[in-house]
Structure 1
Amino acid sequence: IAVGGSKLSSENILFKIAEGILSMPEGISHVLYVIDGRFTGDEINTFNMIKDSIFKSGILDYITIVRTKFSNFRD
Structure 2
Amino acid sequence: MRWVAGSWHSRRRVIRPSLDAFRGHTYPNYDLDFGLVAKDPLLDRFHATVEASDAPPAARRTALFDVACASGL
TM-score under structure 1 length normalisation: 0.26
- Richer in strand (by share): 1
- Richer in helix (by share): 2
